[in-house]
Amino acid sequence: MPILRRHGFTLVEMMVGLLLLGIISMGVYKVLVKNQQLYLTQGQKIDVGQNLRAAAAILPAELREIDAVDGDIIGMGPDSIRIRAYRVFAIACTPPVLGGALTGLALNVRQALTFGVRGFQSGDSILVYYEGDSTKRADDTWAQGKITAAPTASTCPTDLKASTLMTVSLSAGTWSNTAGSMLTGAPVRAFETITYRNSQGSDGNYYLSYRNSSGLTPLVGPLERHGLAFSYYDSTGAVTAIAANVKRIKIALNYQSLQPVRLSNGSISNILQSDTLQVTLRNNARPLTGS
Amino acid sequence: MKNERGMALAITVFALVVVTALVAGTFYAATQEQRVSDNSRRSVAAFGAAEAGADDVVTGWSPTNMNKRGVYPTDSFLVASSSSMNTTPGLGGRYYGTVYRLNGNLFLIDVTGRDNSSGTTGQGIGAGARDRIGTLVKIQPINFNVSASLTTRNSVTLSGNATADGTDSPPPLWACPPAGPALAGVSTSSTATVSTNGNGSVAGNPPVQHDTGITTKFAGIDSIYAQLAARANIVLSGGNYKTDASFTGTACNTLDQLNWGDGQNTTTCSTYFPIIHITGNVTLNGNQGQGILLVDGNISVQGSYQFFGITMAKGSIGSAGGGSTAAHFYGATMAQDVNLSTTNTLSGKATLLYSNCAIQTVMSNVAVTSLLKSRSWVQLY
């Protein structure tokens, strides 16, 4: 038999070959499909995890600094909360001079001791520490006001260090408008009023959003339709409906993935994950001891 | 054999590549997730360390060191530097920061916390989380409402060489600002009498003040008394004591219950201002003390005893003798029921002198700090 004799495959050889190829291809296809599903699922899971961490970083940071006793919770409901969110903190080198009109007051703050997510802006609401009688603790409070003109760069009068000069107006409160009641070195805080709630975005999904004077901004999500719940507790740990009594806030969040994925049990649905955060308010007014 | 056809190798290689890519992808995702989670954990730990650090600064507040600091920007107090951090009390992290005095009684504690792994070795190289927070604290003011050298509800008799003087008199060797306005020599109720015999005298502006609100005033003083007694460094039962500065080597021995500081300002005990609470009648017979003296009963002072600061007695105050020194009490003296007389044969002076400087110095050295009444906590960036 010549070695180089040309010959083809027999039908049986072809069929066996095709069958084998089919089985292998099917296997490879299944692996690829699984791979794709796994990839999608992992991607969605990671997204949900990212959301979870983002909310866990943002919400407690905002809520921690409020003083419920002095009215920093403006409104609270089971699925939304309206608060004063602190944005800038600074130390005055020239405090507002009291004893006269409460408008057009000069407030000069040190740049070196200014901390915040942004600078002071015209229109910001502010709180200025009111010392009153410096030997008494009972009359210490914060006077509320507003920045009425754009802040300008300046210097502190005594040491000529860089400062920010603002024109502010104060609104009368429980404090007395007496000369010398606000001291050099008084802390100043700027805040904006914002609402955190679950609201529907333009894509139809629900997002943890905040609303401030410039509108509604989606922050973290998507969440489930009723995926945001606040619970409020007082200092004894009991649930309270009175804003001034709130000492601790519990936030329950139910996240869902943006896209549905095939779950391990074969069904197709969104990945759901829930998270609970607890925040103790750091700045509540303390009961008085002594004068 | 030349008949080497087939796809087994190709398919195997392809499958291996696919599987490897899958495994590598999963590992990558898992590693990333693990890193992100680790960062979250560190960031929480750093925040905890910052809070613990800020609390640590408040609880470890040393009035003698902190309350005399200059106001920002001329002075500040370094709690710990970033290259040599303090460990938090629970050992869960480390912190560093600075305390700034904002004005006479306000301080800003600026603390940065770091988690334990963010060190200079091992896993933490170049990484690590930090969180910076601030707390506002105030030196807790105590308002004695001092209006006289001697404030009492009862009649006062000054005889021998006894004097109650409302002129502001800085103690000798104390660094004091210029003397302030004079107060009354004796402030007492509208019905009580102040009489002088022999060389006894009352001086001040006015020498004697009859205060119709004296009972209300003592009600206020009582609550301050209770607060101070709760913070007393030295608690003794009634008795006869001789107190003076004592030392361990050259350092002031503050463990000695009979060391009430050095008001004559010649030793290391001159910066020690204890709050002394005596739960009965006391007789003091030499040598000296400073700070706040709280006596549940009567005080009787013998010889040349000197006390610098604030003296409050629930009972009466009496003195005898005077030795060679010029005064018995610098500061302010308050007694709810008083009979002051010198009945001995010594020619020294049993004198009560008002001293604003002594009062202020003592108060700033015993005053503890507390967080502001509200909104004392601030996130710094």
Element (H, E) at A130: strand A125-130
A65 min Cα distance to partner chain B (Å):
7
Report CB contact under 8 Å: A290, B380. Answer: no
B139 forms beta bridges with: B369
Mode of pairing for the β-strands spanning A268-269 and A215-233 = unpaired
Count Cβ neighbours within 10 Å for each residue of B314-324 and write b for 16 or more, e otherwise: bbbbbbbbbbe
Beta strands B275-278 and B282-295 are parallel
Are A53 and B18 a contacting pair at CB < 8 A?
no
By C-alpha distance, the chain B residue nearest A284 is: B374
Q: Which run of H or E residues covers position A212?
A: strand A206-212
Q: How far apart are CA B374 and CA A287, in angstroms?
A: 10
- CB of A114 within 8 A of CB of A89? yes
Burial class (CB in 10 A: 0-12, 13-18, 19+), B277: buried
**Does residue A128 sit at the B interface (CB-CB below 8 Å)?**
no
pLDDT of residue B203: 87
Contacts of A80 (CB under 8 A, 6+ apart): A195, A196, A197, A198, A228, A230
Burial call B144-179: b when 16+ CB within 10 Å, e when fewer: bebbbbbbbbbbbbbbbbbbbbbbbbbbeebebeee
Partners of residue B73 in chain A, C-beta under 8 Å: 110, 112, 159, 161
For residue B4, the model assigns a pLDDT of: 62
Taking the C-alpha atoms of residue A157 and residue A160, their distance in angstroms, rounded to an integer, is 6
Beta bridge partners of B284: B241, B301
Chain A closest-CA separation from residue B215 CA (Å): 18
B269: DSSP letter: G
The percent of residues above 70 in pLDDT, for chain B, comes to 90
Strand B329-335, strand B148-152: pairing:
parallel
Calpha distance B318→B160 (Å, rounded)? 12
B115-149: per-residue pLDDT in tens? 877 555 544 444 678 899 999 998 876 777 788 88
Nearest to B381 among A69, A115, A291 (CB): A115
Contacts of A64 in chain B (CB under 8 A): 377, 379
Spatial contact of B334 and B313, defined as CB atoms under 8 Å apart: yes
Structure tokens at B344: 């001995």
Axis-axis angle for helices A11-64, B8-59 (nearest 10): 10
Average pLDDT of chain B, as a whole number: 82
**pLDDT band at residue B342 under the 50/70/90 scheme:** very low
From A135's Cα to the closest Cα of chain B, the distance in A is: 5
Contacts of A109 (CB under 8 A, 6+ apart): A90, A91, A92, A93, A120, A163, A164, A166, A188
- Among B209, B154, B175, B207, which residue's Cα sits nearest to residue B334? B154
Q: What is the pLDDT of residue B321?
A: 62
- Chain-chain contact of A185 with B103 (C-beta, under 8 angstroms): yes
Q: Do B374 and A161 touch (CB under 8 A)?
A: no
Partner residue facing A285 (CB), from B26, B136, B374: B374
Q: Is B139 helix (H, G, I), strand (E, B) or coil?
A: strand
Over chain A (291 residues), the average pLDDT of each successive run of 10 is 66 92 90 83 85 86 91 91 93 90 91 90 92 79 92 90 92 86 91 91 88 88 88 92 92 87 81 88 73 40
Q: What is the pLDDT of residue B119?
A: 53
**CB-based contact (8 Å) between A94 and chain B?**
no
- Decide: B230 and B191 in contact? Cβ < 8 Å: no
Its pTM stands at: 0.74
Identify the H or E element spanning B43: helix B8-59
Dist CA A216 CA A4 (whole Å)? 81
ipTM of the complex: 0.85
Alpha-carbon distance B252 to A28, whole Å?
Answer: 85
Q: What is the pLDDT of residue A221?
A: 78
Q: Does A127 touch chain B (CB under 8 A)?
A: yes
Q: Give me the pLDDT at residue B118, please.
A: 56
A110: chain B residues, CB-CB within 8 Å: 72-73
Q: How many CB pairs under 8 A join A and B?
A: 137
Q: Is the pLDDT of residue B70 over 60?
A: yes
**A142: closest CA among B115, B136, B76, B169?**
B136
Question: Hey, what amino acid is at B153?
Answer: R
DSSP class of A236 = T
Residue B3 — pLDDT band, cuts 50, 70, 90? low
Q: Is there a contact between A286 and B140 if contact means CB atoms under 8 Å apart?
A: no
More confident residue, B36 or B321: B36
- B286 vs A181, residue with greater confidence: A181
Distance CA A63, CA A31 (A): 47
Interface test with A, best of B42, B373, B376 (most A CBs within 10 A): B373
Q: What is the pLDDT of residue B343?
A: 33
Q: Most A CBs within 10 Å: which of B359, B364, B374, as the mutation test of the A interface?
A: B374
Question: pLDDT value at position A110?
Answer: 93
Beta pairing class for B106-115 and B93-101: antiparallel
Nearest to A157 by CA among A93, A109, A95, A90: A93
Facing residue for B376 by CB, picked from A38, A161, A283:
A283
Phi, psi of A57 (to 5 degrees): -85, -40
Confidence grade of residue B53 (pLDDT, cut at 50, 70, 90): very high
Among chain A residues, the shortest Cα distance to B375 is held by A283
Chain-chain contact of B73 with A112 (C-beta, under 8 angstroms): yes
Going B312 to B313 to B314 to B316, the CA torsion angle's sign is: negative
* DSSP single-letter state for residue A138: T
* Contact at CB, A116 and B381, closer than 8 angstroms: yes
Contact criterion met (CB < 8 Å) for B223 and A46: no
* pLDDT given for residue B254 in this prediction: 87
Q: Please tell me the predicted confidence (pLDDT) of residue A167.
A: 92
The CA distance from B350 to B163, in Å, is 6
Nearest to A282 among B227, B377, B381 (CB): B377
Cα A12 versus chain centre, distance: 70
Partners of B379 on chain A (C-beta within 8 Å) are 61, 64-65, 86, 89, 115
Q: Which of A31, A110, A142 sits opposite B374 (nearest CB)?
A: A142
- Asked if residue B347 has pLDDT above 60, the reply is no
